[in-house]
Amino acid sequence: MQVVIQPNAGAAADLVAWIVAGQVRTQPRSVLGLATGSTMEGVYARLVELNREEALDFSRCRTFNLDEYVGLPENHPNSYRHYMNHHLFGKVNIELRNTHLPNGMAEDLAAECENYERLIKQVGGIDLQLLGIGRSGHIGFNEPLSAFNSRTRVESLVPATIEQNRPLFKRDTRMPHQAITMGVGTILECRRCILLATGPDKAKIVAQAVEGPLTSMVSASSLQMHPHCTVVLDVAAAGQLKGMKHYQRLFENDPKWKAFRERMSVGDTAPLRTSVC
């Protein structure tokens, strides 16, 4: 696991978008794993800009989202399908038929979960998976006690998650208490994972996930076992990490981040170079 700390949330989102752009440029047929949540909005906004201004081409990409609420139709403003269409799919040159989210309205939810796993396998697995982190330590909607080898399934949301996400629902809308989520095992099989967390509210759970023990009580701690995982944080979310200074030094001296460091030092107008890092 590598921890990369950026000065603010904008720079952290920029770095994640830069990694995704490098992936798509070097492998135009990439299978991208996508995440929702307010933290990811900055990443998608940057990817939309790169698509418009620097011809970042999504036309051959396929995508799989981590999760979807059970019982919300696609066109519901709180569905993750709606979120993805609004923030990314409707604004870049991706084929909608190549974008996948679990169907939370399926009559047979167990069959839907199995089918989602099958689809991911059929395309050869996920090349790059974006992840946020919930206050409960979840990745996707893998709540505490999710087995590290769990697969796509229906998960019941814990009170901390309901409390975190309820403000996004209008007062008269009942927030679902269940969701379909890729399992921790499904996520660990992705070839590369990028977890993005920003803001002081995430500092405690980030420290538990990154420096705490491996435990199914914090699903994100499973990423310590992933062979290619990058955790991108702003200074606020990194605030409780014991090794903060060490991670910062590593980033400053690591040649694989040189192109990004140079781009940031000359400002946002510098072209985004193709890079694999």
Shortest Å, Cβ 119 to ligand GLP: 19
Side chain identity at residue 270, one-letter code: A
Are 12 and 6 a contacting pair, CB within 8 Å?
Answer: yes
Among 58, 64, 83, 141, binds ligand GLP (CB under 6 A): 141
Distance separating alpha carbons of residues 260 and 46, to the nearest angstrom: 14
Rule CB under 6 A: is residue 32 a binding residue for ligand GLP? no
Closest C-alpha to 162, from 124, 135, 144, 131: 135
Closer by beta carbon to ligand GLP, 99 or else 275: 99
With H, G, I as helix, E, B as strand and everything else as coil, classify residue 31: strand
| Backbone φ, ψ for residue 155 (5° rounding) | -125, 140
Shortest Å, Cβ 202 to ligand GLP: 7
For residue 21, CA distances in Å to 17, 61, 254, 256, 271 come to 6, 12, 20, 15, 12
Tokens of 69: 């609420």
Closer by beta carbon to ligand GLP, 22 or else 140: 140
Shortest Å, Cβ 51 to ligand GLP: 22
Rule CB under 6 A: is residue 35 a binding residue for ligand GLP? yes
Shortest Å, Cβ 198 to ligand GLP: 8
Strand partners, 64: 33, 100
Question: Strand 193-197 and strand 99-100: pairing?
Answer: unpaired
> Site size for ligand GLP, by CB under 6 A?
14
Rule CB under 6 A: is residue 156 a binding residue for ligand GLP? no
- The footprint of ligand GLP on residues 49-78 (CB under 6 A) is 66-67
Rule CB under 6 A: is residue 36 a binding residue for ligand GLP? yes
Rule CB under 6 A: is residue 234 a binding residue for ligand GLP? no
**What does the binding site for ligand GLP look like in residue numbers (CB under 6 A)?**
35-39, 66-67, 132-134, 140-141, 161, 165
